[in-house]
C-alpha cells in the first residue's frame, strides 16, 4: 500500500469523483458499480489496510508487492482502484461517465498513472491500455460534455511525460479524436478535437525523431475524407503507424 502522504493526496483526487459516481449509480441497474466505488473509498480511507490477496497466485504480476501503474501503489492495488473508473466509463450512463473521466484525466495530469499503455504488453501495460480503451469508446455516447472530457483526457495521456501510449492504443486515441472532429454536433468540440489531434501527432513524431534521427518528420494535415469509415482513417494510419510501433 502507498505511504500515508501519497494516500492522502490520492484521496483528494479520487474520492470526490467516486462520491459523484455513487450518487448517480445508486439505482438498481448500476448498484454494483456504486458498491465497487464504496469499496475503493473504504480501501483508501482505512488506515494501514492490507490489500486482499489475489486469487491467482501463479501470476507474479498479481502479487501485492509488484509495482503498479498507479504511483506508489502495487499492481494489485492499482487494478483495484482503477476498476470502478473503467467500469463507470463503460457503463453508458453519462452521469457516471463524466466524473470517472474527470478522475482519470486528473490521475494522468498529476502524474499518478505511469508506464506504457500497450494491449500487447505485460499485465501493467494491458491495464493502462484498458483505461485508454474505455475512454476512447465512451465518446460513442454522443454527449457533448463527454466528448470534451474524452478529448481532454486523451490529450493529457499522449502529452504525459509519465505515461506512454503505444501500438493499437495510440491508433485508437488518434482515431477517436478524428471521429469527434468529423461527427460531433458541437463546433467547439470539433475545433478542440482537431487542435488536439494535431498536437498529438506533432508530439508522436517529435518523440519518434528523438529516438531515431534518421526518420523524417511527415507533414501533419487534418482533413476529412468522404470514402467511408475505413477510408476516413487511412490518412491517420499512414501518418501514425511508423511512430506508433517504433
pLDDT in tens, the chain (246 residues): 555 666 678 888 999 999 999 988 877 677 889 999 999 999 888 865 544 444 444 455 555 556 789 988 899 999 999 999 999 999 988 899 999 999 999 999 999 999 999 888 899 999 999 999 999 999 888 889 999 999 999 999 999 999 999 889 999 999 999 999 999 999 999 999 999 999 998 998 888 877 654 444 444 444 444 444 444 544 454 444 544 444
At 128 the pLDDT is 96
Would you state the pLDDT for residue 213? 40
User: CA-CA distance, 116 to 113, in Å (whole number)?
Assistant: 10
Extended strands (E) in 44-167:
115-117, 163-165
DSSP 8-state assignment for residue 110: T
Q: Which residues pair with 67 in a beta bridge?
A: 74
Q: What is the pLDDT of residue 167?
A: 86
Ramachandran category for residue 102: left, alpha or beta (phi over 0 → left; psi -120 to 50 → alpha)? alpha
d(CA 206, CA 12): 34
CA distance 134 to 13: 20
What's the pLDDT at 46?
82
The cell numbers describing 17, all together, are: 469523483
SS3 48: coil
Phi, psi of 220 (to 5 degrees): -110, 120
Residue with cell 463503460: 90
Cβ atoms of residues 88 and 25 within 8 Å = yes
Crossing angle between the packed helical segments 123-137 and 167-183, to the nearest 10 degrees: 10
Question: What are 178's three cell numbers?
Answer: 478524428
What was the pLDDT predicted at 71? 86
Of the candidates 35, 46, 44, the one whose C-alpha atom is nearest the C-alpha of residue 16 is 44
According to the model, what pLDDT value does residue 215 have?
44
User: Backbone phi, then psi, for 114, in 5-degree steps?
Assistant: -145, 155
For 101, the grid coordinates are 473521466
Could you tell me which of 65, 45, 67, 41 has the C-alpha nearest to residue 53? 65
Amino acid at each position: 500500500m502507498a505511504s500515508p502522504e501519497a494516500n492522502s493526496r490520492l484521496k483528494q483526487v479520487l474520492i470526490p469523483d467516486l462520491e459523484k459516481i455513487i450518487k448517480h449509480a445508486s439505482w438498481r441497474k448500476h448498484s454494483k458499480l456504486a458498491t465497487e466505488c464504496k469499496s475503493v473509498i473504504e480501501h483508501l480511507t482505512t488506515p494501514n489496510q492490507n490489500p486482499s490477496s489475489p486469487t491467482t497466485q501463479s501470476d507474479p504480476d498479481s502479487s501485492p508487492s509488484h509495482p503498479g501503474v498507479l504511483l506508489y501503489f502495487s499492481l494489485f492495488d492499482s487494478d483495484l482502484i482503477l476498476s470502478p473508473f473503467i467500469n463507470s466509463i463503460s457503463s453508458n450512463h453519462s452521469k457516471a461517465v463524466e466524473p470517472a473521466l474527470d478522475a482519470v484525466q486528473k490521475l494522468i495530469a498529476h502524474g499518478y498513472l505511469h508506464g506504457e499503455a500497450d494491449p500487447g504488453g505485460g499485465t501493467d501495460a494491458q491495464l493502462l491500455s484498458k483505461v485508454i480503451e474505455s475512454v476512447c469508446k465512451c465518446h460513442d455516447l454522443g454527449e457533448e460534455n463527454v466528448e470534451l472530457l474524452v478529448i481532454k483526457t486523451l490529450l493529457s495521456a499522449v502529452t504525459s511525460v509519465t505515461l506512454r501510449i503505444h501500438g493499437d492504443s495510440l491508433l485508437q486515441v488518434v482515431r477517436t479524436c478524428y471521429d469527434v472532429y468529423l461527427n460531433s454536433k458541437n463546433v467547439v468540440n470539433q475545433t478542440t478535437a482537431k487542435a488536439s489531434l494535431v498536437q498529438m501527432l506533432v508530439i508522436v513524431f517529435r518523440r519518434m525523431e528523438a529516438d531515431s534521427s534518421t526518420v523524417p518528420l511527415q507533414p501533419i494535415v487534418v482533413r476529412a475524407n468522404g470514402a467511408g469509415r475505413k477510408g476516413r482513417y487511412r490518412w491517420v494510419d499512414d501518418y501514425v503507424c511508423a511512430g506508433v510501433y517504433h
